[in-house]
Amino acid sequence: MSGILFCLFFISGCFFIGMILAFLKFQRPGVYPPKRILKQRMIVLGSGGLISMLLSLFLLMVIR
C-alpha cells in the first residue's frame, strides 16, 4: 500500500510542477501556445494535482 501512496504523491507533485511551468510560460509575453490554452492547461494540471493529493492524503489517513 505504501507503493500506491508514493505513486499518488509523485503524480500529484508532477501535476503541480507542470502547473507551475505553465504558469511561468503564461507570464512571458508573446509565448506560444496562446494564453487561453495555457490557462486551460493550468486549470487541468492544478485540479489533477489537487485530486491526487487529496486522494493520497485520504488513503494515508485510512491506513493509519
- pLDDT surpasses 90 at 64: no
For the stretch 3-44, pLDDT in tens is: 999 999 999 999 999 999 999 999 999 889 999 999 999 999
CA distance 9 to 46: 14
Spatial CB neighbours of 16, under 8 Å, sequence gap ≥ 6: 45, 46, 49
Query: 44 is written with which cell numbers?
Result: 487541468
CA distance 14 to 27: 20
* Cβ–Cβ under 8 Å, residues 22 and 45: yes
> Does residue 2 or residue 16 have the better pLDDT?
16
pTM of the prediction? Answer: 0.88
